[in-house]
Amino acid sequence: MHQRRKAREVTLQVLYALDVQETGLQEAIDLFWANFDAPEEARKFSFFLIEGTWNHREQIDGLISGSSENWTIARMSRVDKSILRMAVYELLFCHDIPPKVTLNEAIDLGKVYGSENSGAFINGILDALYGKLRRKDEDQDINSLAGRLEP
């Protein structure tokens, strides 16, 4: 699991760079790897997270905005926003990762790389969002079950 933590740190750094610079996805990834190194497993997982998060950022940003009271995406720090985007991508598309792991990793990254309040801020938004996603999944399960029970 240590490799996944490293991959998340790499992902955070590249997503931050993409948010700050006007550069393409592959160019940002190549620039990072030209200056830093990591084990192959971390590289693969970080590429998966970076590409998926960046390509789905509009959908992800909408979900984050819908779960953050009094905070627009534009007002969030770039570090917090990058961590939130990555965590939401994991929640939506990485079904092999327990949600609790995703939330804990995001909060820890916020505490290390963000501001004094980043851990709590990230926790609040992800907790609200995960609750909404869980309720939506339960509703879909109930609706699909109800559809199968009808004659």
**Full set of structural domains in the chain with CATH:** 2-149 (1.10.940.10)
Assess whether pLDDT exceeds 50 at residue 22.
Answer: yes
- What are the tens digits of pLDDT across the range 53-106? 999 999 999 999 999 888 889 999 999 999 999 999 999 999 999 999 999 999
pLDDT, average across residues 106-132:
95
Q: Which residue has the tokens 């917090």?
A: 80
Assess whether pLDDT exceeds 60 at residue 141.
Answer: no
> Within 13 Å of residue 21, how many CA atoms lie on the same side as its CB?
15
| Tokens coding 148 | 């199968």
Assess whether pLDDT exceeds 60 at residue 151.
Answer: no
State residue 146's pLDDT score: 33
When pLDDT is cut at 50, 70 and 90, the band that residue 1 belongs to is low
Three state DSSP letters for 111-142 = HHHCCCCHHHHHHHHHHHHHHHHHHHHHHHHH
- What are the tens digits of pLDDT across the range 24-38? 999 999 999 999 999
| Amino acid, res. 36 | F
State residue 150's pLDDT score: 38
Of all residues in the chain, what percent carry a pLDDT higher than 90? 79
